[in-house]
Chain A
Amino acid sequence: MIPELGHFSLILALAVALVQGTLPLVGASRGDLRLMALGRTAALTQAFLVLLAFGALTQAYVTSDFSVLNVVDNSHSAKPLLYKISGVWGNHEGSMLLWALILALFGAAVAVFGNNLPDTLRSRVLAIQALIGVGFLAFLLFTSNPFQRVFPAPPDGNGLNPLLQDPGLAFHPPLLYLGYVGFSVTYAFAVAALLEGRVDAAWARWVRPWALAAWCFLTLGIALGSWWAYYILGWGGFWFWDPVENASLMPWLAGTALLHSAIVVEKRDALKSWTVLLALLAFSLSLLGTFLVRSGVLTSVHAFAQDPARGMFILAFLLFVTGGGLALYAWRAPQLQGGGLFQPVSREGALILNNLLLCTLAATVLLGTLYPLFLDLLTGNKVSVGPPFFNATFVPLCAPLFAALCVGPFLGWKRAELWPALMRLRVALVVSLAAIVVAMTMIDSRSTLAALAFGFGVWLIVGSLASLTDRVRSGTLRTLPRSTLGMVIAHASLGVVVLGSVATSSWNTELMHTMKPGDRIDFAGYSVQLERMDEVRGPNYIAERATLAVSVGGKPYTVLQPERRLFTVQRRQVAETAIQTNGLRDFYATLGEGNPQQGWVIRLYLNPLAPWIWLGAALCALGGFVSLSDRRLRIGAPSRKPALQPAE
């Protein structure tokens, strides 16, 4: 009964979305206030209905209702409750429902928090948001119904993929989707602005918080996924340039560019049409990522044919959203008059350079991800694009970006001088040069590039903090606007990420050894003894657990217990790494195959500064949230016209 209610409310939601996507648009063009007011009610109703549907599916998972096909395929009665819940979005249908839910919630958020928007703009934004919702709801109902029943109901389910049964991964998709879908709001704002033919400082001020929120969540989502890969995959890597990772990196890069160009629109009334284009692109790239991942195009061209209905639907939708947005842009953008003029060396100039480089980075990732597909389709030649390619193309492009990043905030608007800005950064420059020398002489003399990258990391941190020195000296640090504080945190945290990733990928120590209980080995100043091997029983797995006693200079230091888990339902083994961290380095151990006769393969790693990668990413998102809490955004933008008095 409850699944049917869920199914029914999904159908109702589609109907409401259709109304919300059309009537307010008509109202906005005719100036009919009643039709425009409909948008807000419809947005709230739609969110409520999709929430009901999502609740119904969650209920089916929590109670292990095996008469629902989706639950049978992805759940099992013996699974811990957390994974029963995360199983809701741990599959195709459920994750699409989560996508639709977040989309509807963002729509409702615009309806609730959009009081300061002019009526026409708000109703247009809500309508565009609803039209995107129509696409996803129709996709769910016609190709991926999560409420499909199965008869007769099997006694138990097939269980969730063991790799997904992990706390980190339970929250990874919702965060990532909050980011992806958050850009739908900026897309809707961009399309609405093109329809209105007006982009101004007020528009930028309304858009920026949404872009910022989406960007923060996307940052957290990517970081969580990368952290998961680090501790679950068992060889200490954190980023693999895999197409599915790239799919999330592209909207992040475009979104970062958007955040920066929106500042120029807000402060200087320039770069308008470019900002609108970026807003269109950020969401298009989010959709492209979804398309690439969902359709299976990336796995192989044949997987596309396996489920042509789904792939074709998303492709058609992607073309509609991207093509429609760009066509509207081509038609309307020339009407957007650029305002403020500026010299190349100025804050505006620095932000343009930022946009130029970020877009080139996004293009590099896009080419690297799609090129093998197109080459294969067009010529039949197969080519591999892997980490070495991106290391050779993406990473060098980061150098000018990082170099300019610290200088930009020291440049004034309109017209600035480069030399005074550099003089104020001289301490940062000296410190980072010193860091390069230290890295070259004391850590590793062979890798000049690693030392250089390390220097860039230090430059980012010290150079970003340098913009606070004047405030510290004059004792006005407390009056620092939160948006500036957020910027400093986010910029410096990028340096933290750079330091972490450079150190852990260039200067890690690794040891691989076959050990029997009682064996002892020396590893980078530590003495590691395999004390015993145990068999452990989890809720839905059996595991082999090694107990490694680590000591330094004869004194016990720590105990590491890596496991290999065999999930009994799926009969799949998953390694559970053991990591001891002191904030500056990770002591990382994994257990490999083995038996009592020959011993077990133990892998040990020392990953210097590895925790900084995720610490930095978390700080980066924190910077975004701090900026989001800025007074300017909380109070709201100045309205374009005097506020109307409510009718008595």
Chain B
Amino acid sequence: MIGARRLFFMFLSPLGERLGEGVRRPLTLPLPLAGERSLKALCCVLLLLFTLPALAVEPSEILPDPALETRAREIGRALRCVVCQNQSIDDSSAEVARDMRRAVRERLTAGDSDGDVFAYMVARYGDYVLLKPPFKAGTLILWLGAPFLLLVAGAALLLAARRRRHTPIAAPKPLDEEERRRLDALLKG
């Protein structure tokens, strides 16, 4: 279901096809085949090829320990499926995502802490795998840009308000010709 989310707002079929690519499983065609059997097999293969599995985490992957499984799910939601478009390994049905989910569960079963698992994944795939980018020099603007903007704008507004408090309120703008005419008309009734 990789293209799905994207198609959500996008509606762009040429891209939609490209986005679907991540889903299709790597396939080895069972060749050589002969006769009617081969045709049937080919049909099955074709069906598989174009299947968009709706499932991400599958029942067979679930850890028997619910506490450990909950941790695995939480970690899974924060890790990016590296071949997908902005999808976590928990949401993705790509082969790579499945392998990564298994790896997470293996590490957890082996007794790793959550931090260890993230470190393990970053060591393999780089910072790219983290859906929440680490706070470092390269992501300074990303993390602090908006709060900085808020602070600067807030400070400027407060300063302006303080300055304004010290200046006497200016007399209201005098009425222009037309407004005076309308006022007169109104007052005369």
Contact = CB atoms under 8 A, between A and B. Distances in A.
| A and B co-occur in one complex | yes
B127 interface: yes
A325 to B, nearest CB: 20
B117 to A, nearest CB: 15
A388 B178 CA distance: 59
Contacts of B57: 512
A164 B52 contact: no
A122 to B, nearest CB: 20
A242 B158 contact: no
Interface string A370-411: 010001000101111111110011000100000000000000
A161 B12 CA distance: 10
Interface string A68-99: 00000110000000000000011110010000
Contacts of B10: 244, 293
B42 interface: no
A243 B132 contact: no
B1 A386 contact: no
A244 B6 contact: yes
A591 B53 CA distance: 10
Contact of B51 (A296, A352, A361, A573): A573
B13 A383 contact: no
Given A384-B133, A392-B132, A360 B11 contact: no
Interface in A280-303: 293-294, 296, 299, 303
**SS class, residues of chain B in contact with chain A:** helix
A317 B58 CA distance: 46
B142 A367 contact: yes
B12 A294 contact: yes
Interface residues of A, number: 83
Interface in A593-622: 593, 601, 603
B9 A225 contact: yes
Contacts of B108: none
A269 to B, nearest CB: 10
A60 B52 CA distance: 31
A328 interface: no
A442 B182 CA distance: 65
Nearest to B50: A571
B131 to A, nearest CB: 3
Interface residues of B, number: 67
B172 to A, nearest CB: 9
A574 interface: yes
A371 B169 contact: no
A493 interface: no
Given A90-B11, A244-B9, A386 B131 contact: yes
A484 interface: no
A237 B59 CA distance: 19
B86 A388 contact: no
A512 B58 contact: yes
B11 A383 contact: no
B53 A593 contact: yes
Nearest to A378: B138
Given A379-B138, A393-B146, A384 B157 contact: no
A92 B11 CA distance: 7
A523 to B, nearest CB: 14
Interface string A332-348: 00000001010110000
B119 interface: no
A572 B52 contact: yes
Contact of A344 (B46, B47, B85, B158): B158
B86 A593 contact: no
A393 B129 CA distance: 19
B180 interface: no
A601 B128 contact: no
Contacts of B161: 343-344
A593 B60 CA distance: 13
B15 interface: yes
Contact of B54 (A356, A361, A387, A592): A592
B1 A234 contact: yes
A514 B59 contact: yes
A641 B178 contact: yes
23 contacts: A161-B13, A164-B11, A225-B9, A229-B5, A234-B1, A234-B54, A244-B6, A244-B9, A244-B10, A293-B10, A307-B14, A343-B161, A356-B153, A356-B154, A367-B142, A382-B126, A383-B138, A383-B142, A384-B127, A384-B128, A388-B132, A513-B59, A572-B50
Interface of B: 1, 3-16, 18-19, 46-47, 49-59, 62, 77-78, 80, 85-86, 88, 91, 126-133, 138-139, 141-143, 145-147, 149-150, 153-154, 157-158, 161, 164-165, 169, 173, 178, 182
Given A303-B15, A384-B86, 9 more contacts: A92-B13, A242-B5, A244-B9, A245-B8, A299-B85, A383-B127, A570-B50, A573-B50, A591-B54
Interface of A: 73-74, 89-92, 95, 161, 163-164, 173, 176, 225, 228-229, 232-235, 237, 240-245, 247-248, 293-294, 296, 299, 303, 306-307, 339, 341, 343-344, 352, 356-357, 359-361, 363-364, 367-368, 371, 375, 379, 381-389, 392-393, 397, 512-514, 564, 566, 570-575, 590-593, 601, 603, 641-642
